[in-house]
Structure 1
Amino acid sequence: MKETIVLGLSGGVDSAVAATLLKEQGFAVTGLYLDIGLGGTGREDAAAVADRLGIPFRVADIRADLERQVCAPFAAAYRAGRTPLPCAQCNPTVKFPALFRLAEELGGRYVSTGHYANVENGVLKKGRPANDQSYMLARLSRKQLQNMIFPLGNYEKRQVRGLAQQFGIPVADKPDSMEICFIPHGDYAAWLDERGFSTPEGDFVDKSGQVLGRHKGIHHYTLGQGRGLGVSGPHRYYVSAILPQTNQVVLSDGSDLGRGTVFGTQPNWIGVEGLDGPLEVTVRLRHSRTEGEGVLYPEGEGVRIEMSTPARAPTPGQLAVFYLGDVVAGSAWIVSSQ
């Protein structure tokens, strides 16, 4: 009897190829489309893929969970001067729990998605360098990872596109979606404004407190930002601090953005049992392939990261992910730096 697996079927090329590969591996695949109520062609495309592959297709309405676990904290973070990372928040609290609920209903153990990453014995590992998505998965728990399969972990996107053509998948040429799923137009500030979560205008100031101009509301800015500021001066300006208490955005020439020490909270340990002393790792402080060497130290209930080379603008609300080679040792939410 085939092993049941529930796959998050988004209507895109990645999950469609993942479904095909899982079928070839002998799994009984059920596709689950996660409906967030925005319409579009995703549901139709996912259903077409399921029909083409001859697999059962289900739809789960996740709007309430997404609002509670992701959208509301997203808005609160921007109002507090932080820059949230909604996908990393959604994966362990909304997306994968929905997949596991259906798997349990069907009597299956495993769930899957089209992410570019690997799992071995419950340990999260990087995918191929060109497309690695382990950063966004680093908040998943060991328990969740024990029952996950990522069939695209050893592929690059160009290879997956080729497989989609080879398999005759109907969404083989569908463009990738790069936006936050609940903000399809890509303008998060407008989304906040529409929901009544905007912040008032205030002053741009320099480090001495001298007023340089007016900002549109702190939710429009993030640390290190150098575009769209509308302030002229003797040099290009960058956001070096956001002060929600005084509704000010501090600008500088960017020379003060390097930080040697980063503090994180709510550590999630995956590839190690925990942290009881210094641990040498490489660190990603933003969603990119850039890693820096650092040493982790326990810091109260959190973690202190001492970077070998100062990192540019570590941003509160973003994720620090720790690697031991290809293994994700763990992660923590960035709260401050110095």
Structure 2
Amino acid sequence: MLASTLVLIALLCVGVLTKVPYAEMSPGPTTNTLSSVGGKPVLQISGHKTYPTSGHLNMVTVRVTSADTRLNMVEAVYGWLSHDQVVVPHDTLYPDGQTEQQSTQENAEEFSESQESAKVSALRLLHIPFVSHVDVASVLKGSPAEGRLHAGDLILAVDGTGVTRQEQVAQLVTRHKPGQDVTFTVVPAEQAADAKKADKQPTGGREVVVKTATSHDQGKKRAIVGIAAGTDHTFPFSIDIKLADVGGPSAGLMFSLGLVDKLTPGSLTGGTFVAGTGTIDDSGTVGPIGGIAMKLVGARDAGARYFLTPADNCAAAAADTPSGLTLVKVKNISDAKASLDKIRTGDTAGLPRCSAG
């Protein structure tokens, strides 16, 4: 008995002291996008009529161990055995040695982009007009554009040709030979940001000349200036999404639906508790997310009855669905709204559901 006890103690000590290259995921907080947090609405709209809402349109999150944390063997085994936790290889969450700071920055950028796409997709669904602009998304360090163009600059024209789509920028630049000058007509980032805060159209473009260089990536050699073009938008009224300590792109769908609910009469859910997840792009297409199993558990524990599930996550979600939760398959925001209409009217037999396999 004594020998067995000593061996057990030794094994526990080894398990506690031995670090393994794994990380842990568990259900995180879930927030109703129609509610207030810290006394402030999650979705703040001013300058346009809004309507009362009811029920829940909850976005869900996943808690993960930090990039600097290494599970010990005991913690890993416990996580593998637990139904409400998932243990995955550390590199799955933090690839290429990504640090905690880099991960936080990336999540913050993705969260900001998802908010913008949520606004765009909601207004498009409701046929509310707004203005889109091509902008400088990033400038490559050491490139010809460094110091001449800046992230956030709005691009009005290239060589006098007006641009309305981001792909036009590369098309116009590559008409040149390396070493030739390209003339950009831009509104500086600070000036553009001030106009956006005031919900006004940016004005006052200036010309910036950049000499092209030769591309060094794979594929045919071509002229480049070293920028990535993106798209920015000016909305006809103010829309702010306020939610602290959340990152990543997976709340996009639920933010968009929350905006639709606030901007239209009646309640999308009819008072029902609906949760969901999914990225969303400007066209309203819903994309897959990570940690679906943990998000389902979090939604069920919060009281959700229906869960809006990206189509590409359906098989994995249906393989282990928490009891009492109905998975609703969505491909885009129109799908999601149509399903909410069915839930509100009680026509749940017609819901597109997830199936395993």
Verify same fold: TM over 0.5. no
Name the larger-Rg structure. 2
Does 1 or 2 have the higher relative contact order (CA < 8 Å, sep 6+)?
A: 2
